[in-house]
Amino acid sequence: MNSVIITLTRRALLGKRRALLLMLLPALLLGIAALVGAGNGADAAGASGFIQGFALGTLVPLICLLIGTGVIGPEIEDQSLIYLLAKPVRRGTIVLSKLAVAYGAAVVFAVIPTVAATWLAGGREADVLLAFGVTAALASVTYVTVFFLLATLTRNAVVVGLLYAVLWETVLGGYAPGVRALSVRQWSLAPAEQIAGTQAATWGIAAEVGLTTGLIAIAATIVAGIVFSSRRLARLQLNTSE
Amino acid sequence: MSSSVIHDLGFRHYDGDRLGRSWKFRSLMVETLRGIFGLGRPAKSKVMPWLLATFMFAPALVSTIVLFVAGSGEHLFDYRAYAMNMAFIITLFVAARAPYAVSRDLRDGTMPLYLSRPVTYGDYVWAKFTAMTIATFMIIAAPITVMFITAVLAELPWGENLGAWAGGLMVALFVAMLLSAISLAIAAVTPRRGLGIAAIAASLMIVGAIALILVEPYGPTGDLAITPYLGAVDPYLLVNGIAVAFFESPGWEGLPTATDAGSGLIFLGLYAVIVSTCVAVLMRRYQKVGGA
Amino acid sequence: MSTLQLNAVSRWYGNVVAVNDVTMTIGPGVTGLLGPNGAGKSTLIGMMSGFLPPSAGTVTLDGEPVTGAPEYYRRVGMVPEAEAMYDLLTGWEFVLANARLHKLPNPQAAAGNAIDLVDMREAAGRPIGKYSKGMKQRIKMATALVHEPDILLLDEPFNGMDPRQRMHLMELLTELGKAGKTVLFSSHILEEVQEIANTIEVVVSGRHAASGDFRSIRRLMTERPHQYVIRSSDDRALAAAIIADGSADAVSLAQGVLDVQAVDFGRFVHALPRLATTSKVRLLEVTPADESLESVFSYLVARS
């Protein structure tokens, strides 16, 4: 990892309007969680439904999409990435440094807000908080890596990412059970089901895949994402305009 | 006494008729519309708009297959709720293409070139808005028209389907205008293309999610009389309200919505306020560019 | 002392050939890459800098193939054409970041030197987003110089500079060239190239059209006889008129076409329509037989 790239990336990510959008999403999650909590009281099952649907289903992928594409997309779009590429720095180092910033941002803007929202929405038990914290962390890291790779592959990374996160995981998953097993959300939910233990059914936490499968799938996705992004950067042709 | 002289190089003034303002508007509009679908541009620019337009047909095709194979006697989806069912794809379409339509000119600094021609910023904004509206209308209208044709071929009741289809087209127009206005306004204030796409998609998805939470019957304010209006924070549900009140739409997913014309007028008023606000934002944005 | 060697290099994007079979050697000193917009200059620089693999042919630096491996950039400094940098940083922060990315032993001093070289000391504390075009060019130049590379590849470095900044940069490049660095810069403006380049490489429509110092290129072109192939309604009458006029020194009639060898390019192209009119001959087709040199020629002449 390279501290200069980390600093440059952090400043670009947290600059100006993207940061505003990044703050807005978790703020919204917390606001609505408070409303849900006020309506339901301390009801772990209700909170669980809300967190799985709204937080893990919509906001976490969305925030990760903004972060994952945000740490590299703009530099590819305006070609300023050339200043990093024309340096004696390995491509893998560039990828890892940028991803480190992205993971950090995902913890701040996605994972912590999810845990806080769980509490606000009425999931006050330690196990519920832990379960959704772990799920949010695993999902965030995986989503960020995947969306980062997408940003190095296509200028339409945001749209393709949303198609995956919403159409594939939510809509298609509803019709074809096979699709649901191929889902970052389901993989990340597997540890939550373990943590909830006997309470899993009451809290409505049920993952489509087992713990081992989920963790292996997540690890494989992250490693593949890093490897392919590094390769892609080595071959990126910045000066080909549309 | 200076010996300077301007040589006559033989350039001539053009004194003939010029095509009028409406022609310029039309040219800009048609060019934008073609660009939205990537026509006359490299294959790379065609992928996304056509992929999304194709997705828009999926339910219509499924419904047609069910209609013919299973002989269900009616389509699975109502013409007038089609846009609400496909809200996500429409959102992605406007998110992907609205920044193309407006923000490139801002970033590349080509605006002064347009405005130094006899094209006013107003013409520019209306041309872009019209093009985006037509494009969005087309991707909604095309699949429901396919549904109407297959309904006629399957010898479903003529009059009933014709009325519903016409209503569906009106709903499509309402959705197209509203979504275009919102997405162009957001795109114009986020000149970075990638960020523009993300901002439009995120905003629309978030208001959609909020609306669902607000109107769900067991939601925190489910028992209030204002519940149907709370849904109007989502543009699609706002148009759904109009569709139910004026175009006899059966509604969408059984969400509570007002059915009488009086509340329809409230929806209509809200609609007008949002569209004109967005157009005003666009006008202001481009007025500034023109003046600078 | 470093030498970049391009050997039969071509590069195409889909069906478009951007660079076509170019062989050139860029040695120490200042080399100007001259050509109109869209001639393939940026593509050539892209290949020299290791960002674009050639579709055919090889690019080597002192015999080693250029592959874009990270170590290559220790020896190469680049000024890309794209204007965007990290707009939120100040000029100083950005140059310093570049020095650190090069892992220089004393990045502070290196960044300070580079900024002084491009005369940006005063504005170095302001964010890049607020710079004028010329200031951005100079900061880009500083990032390319910060690690004192052997080879400098500059894509349109004079764009947007005012005359004083331009002079300053020209002096700087000349000095670097004298110090034995290999400096290559692209431009579409003849005067810039003429002023400081020891060697000029002319590229037109992706092809290597001329190479050498400016004066000899120019002489080669003006003194070279120009060949035209002409088809007309009456080749014989036209041939007679051309010979009588004296604007061409050889005319031959063959297989329904007229081959003309003109001595004075400017005079011939002006005389031809007049001759055709007076001898009542309709010109059906006029083709320069050697197109690439022709276009280079008109290009150079039109701007000098």
| Chains contacting A (3 or more CB pairs within 8 Å) | B, C
Q: Do C161 and C271 belong together in one domain?
A: no
| A157 and B CB contact within 8 Å | yes
DSSP C146-208: TT--SEEEESSTTTT--HHHHHHHHHHHHHHHHTT-EEEEEES-HHHHHHH-SEEEEEETTEE
Q: Do C216 and C232 belong together in one domain?
A: no
A21/B193 CB distance under 8 A = no
Q: Cα distance from A109 to chain C (closest Cα, Å)?
A: 22
Total domains in chain C come to: 2
Tell me what percent of the residues of chain B surpass a pLDDT of 90: 38
Inter-residue contact B169 to B230 (CB < 8 Å): no
- For residues C99-105, average pLDDT: 92
Whats the size of chain C, residue-wise? 304
Structure-model confidence comparison of residues A54 and B252, the more confident one: A54
Select from A5, A77, A85, A93 the residue whose CB has the most chain C CBs within 10 Å, as the one to mutate to test that interface. Answer: A85
Predicted confidence (pLDDT) at residue A144 exceeds the cutoff of 90: yes
d(CA A159, CA B198): 8
Residue C17: its H or E element: strand C16-26
Q: Which residues of C touch A87 (CB under 8 A)?
A: 70, 73, 98, 101-102
Select from A6, A7, A8, A235 the residue whose CB has the most chain C CBs within 10 Å, as the one to mutate to test that interface. Answer: A8
Provide the pLDDT for residue C85: 80
What tokens were used for A236? 């990126």
d(CA B203, CA B199): 6
d(CA A135, CA B249): 40
| B65 and A CB contact within 8 Å | no
CATH code (residue C259): 3.30.70.100
d(CA B286, CA B281): 9
d(CA A151, CA A88): 23
Nearest CA among A102, A92, A68 for reference residue A1: A92
Predicted confidence (pLDDT) at residue B103 exceeds the cutoff of 90: no
Of B49-53, B209-213, C85-89, where does mean pLDDT reach its minimum? Answer: B209-213
Tell me what percent of the residues of chain B surpass a pLDDT of 70: 86
Residue C56 is classified by DSSP as E
pLDDT digits 0-9 by tens, B47-86: 899 999 999 999 999 888 888 888 777 888 889 999 998 9
Predicted confidence (pLDDT) at residue C233 exceeds the cutoff of 90: no
Going from N- to C-terminal start, the domains of chain B cover: 20-290
B92/A74 CB distance under 8 A = no
Tell me what percent of the residues of chain C surpass a pLDDT of 90: 29
Counting Cα atoms < 13 Å in the Cβ hemisphere of A170 gives 15
Quick check: is C302 in a domain? no
Provide the pLDDT for residue B291: 43
| A166 and B CB contact within 8 Å | yes
Q: Do C274 and C134 belong together in one domain?
A: no
Q: Is the pTM of this model over 0.90?
A: no
Provide the pLDDT for residue C141: 92
- For residues C273-295, average pLDDT: 75
Provide the pLDDT for residue B3: 65
Quick check: is C296 in a domain? no
- For residues C199-204, average pLDDT: 85
d(CA A220, CA A188): 13
Q: Do C113 and C255 belong together in one domain?
A: no
Locate the chain C residue with the closest alpha carbon to A13. C88
Distance of CA A22 to the CA centre of its chain: 13
- For residues C62-81, average pLDDT: 88
What tokens were used for B29? 């509009």
Q: Do C62 and C14 belong together in one domain?
A: yes
Residue C88 lies in domain: 4-221
| Chains contacting C (3 or more CB pairs within 8 Å) | A
Q: Which residues of A touch C71 (CB under 8 A)?
A: 88
Quick check: is C155 in a domain? yes
Q: For all residues of chain C together, what is the average pLDDT? A: 84
The torsion region of residue A197 among left (phi > 0), alpha (psi -120 to 50) and beta comes to left
Reported confidence tier of residue A114, pLDDT bands at 50, 70, 90: very high
Distance of CA C126 to the CA centre of its chain: 33
| A69 and B CB contact within 8 Å | yes
DSSP A120-135: HTT--SHHHHHHHHHH
Q: Do C217 and C231 belong together in one domain?
A: no
Nearest CA among B91, B243, B258 for reference residue B171: B243
Residue C248: its H or E element: strand C248-254
Q: Cα distance from C140 to chain A (closest Cα, Å)?
A: 9
Q: Which residue of A8, A79, A90 is in closest CB contact with C86? A: A8
Q: Which residue of C43, C46, C84 is in closest CB contact with A80? A: C84
d(CA B249, CA B247): 5
Provide the pLDDT for residue A71: 92
Q: What is the C-alpha R_g of chain C?
A: 24
d(CA A117, CA B274): 31
Alpha helices in B66-191 (DSSP H): 82-85, 87-107, 111-115, 121-153, 158-189
Burial environment of residue A145 by CB neighbours within 10 A (0 to 12, 13 to 18, 19 or more): buried
B198/A158 CB distance under 8 A = yes
C88/A87 CB distance under 8 A = no
Total domains in chain A come to: 1
Nearest CA among C153, C201, C147, C200 for reference residue C173: C153
Q: Do C264 and C185 belong together in one domain?
A: no
Reported confidence tier of residue B104, pLDDT bands at 50, 70, 90: confident
Residues 6+ away with beta carbon under 8 Å from A224: none
Q: What are phi and psi of C186, to 5 degrees?
A: -105, 155
Residues 6+ away with beta carbon under 8 Å from A118: A33, A47, A51, A55, A128, A129, A132, A133
Of B109-118, C50-59, C102-111, where does mean pLDDT reach its minimum? Answer: B109-118
Structure-model confidence comparison of residues B223 and A71, the more confident one: A71
Q: Cα distance from A242 to chain B (closest Cα, Å)?
A: 7
Predicted confidence (pLDDT) at residue A191 exceeds the cutoff of 70: yes
Inter-residue contact C24 to C6 (CB < 8 Å): yes
Provide the pLDDT for residue B160: 86
Burial environment of residue A174 by CB neighbours within 10 A (0 to 12, 13 to 18, 19 or more): exposed
Quick check: is C82 in a domain? yes
- The strand pair at C151-154 and C182-187 is best described as parallel
Select from B205, B223, B233 the residue whose CB has the most chain A CBs within 10 Å, as the one to mutate to test that interface. Answer: B205
Residue A15 lies in domain: 3-238
Provide the pLDDT for residue A123: 83
What tokens were used for B121? 């910023």
Q: Do C283 and C265 belong together in one domain?
A: yes
Distance of CA A139 to the CA centre of its chain: 5
Structure-model confidence comparison of residues B215 and A233, the more confident one: A233
Of B244-258, C129-143, C171-185, where does mean pLDDT reach its minimum? Answer: B244-258
Q: Do C145 and C276 belong together in one domain?
A: no
Provide the pLDDT for residue B17: 77
Predicted confidence (pLDDT) at residue B257 exceeds the cutoff of 90: no
Provide the pLDDT for residue A94: 94
Residue A110 is classified by DSSP as I
Neighbours of B177 (CB within 10 A): 22
Burial environment of residue A176 by CB neighbours within 10 A (0 to 12, 13 to 18, 19 or more): exposed
d(CA C41, CA C24): 13
Q: Which residue of A88, A238, A239 is in closest CB contact with C73? A: A88
Of C200, C221, C242, which marks where a domain is finished? Answer: C221
Q: Do C165 and C282 belong together in one domain?
A: no
Q: For all residues of chain B together, what is the average pLDDT? A: 84
- The strand pair at C76-79 and C29-34 is best described as unpaired
Inter-residue contact C178 to C209 (CB < 8 Å): no
Cα torsion for A122, A124, A128, A131, to the nearest 10°? 100
Predicted confidence (pLDDT) at residue A172 exceeds the cutoff of 50: yes
Burial environment of residue A41 by CB neighbours within 10 A (0 to 12, 13 to 18, 19 or more): exposed
pLDDT digits 0-9 by tens, A30-76: 988 888 888 777 788 888 888 888 888 888 998 999 999 999 988 88
Residues 6+ away with beta carbon under 8 Å from C104: C110, C146, C147
- For residues C134-159, average pLDDT: 91
- The strand pair at C76-79 and C151-154 is best described as parallel
Q: Crossing angle, helix B193-215 and helix B87-107, to 10 degrees?
A: 150
A36/B213 CB distance under 8 A = yes
pLDDT digits 0-9 by tens, C3-33: 999 999 999 887 888 888 889 999 999 999 9
Nearest CA among C38, C35, C21, C29 for reference residue C2: C29
Predicted confidence (pLDDT) at residue C223 exceeds the cutoff of 90: no
The torsion region of residue C183 among left (phi > 0), alpha (psi -120 to 50) and beta comes to beta
A88: helix, strand or coil: coil
Provide the pLDDT for residue C296: 57
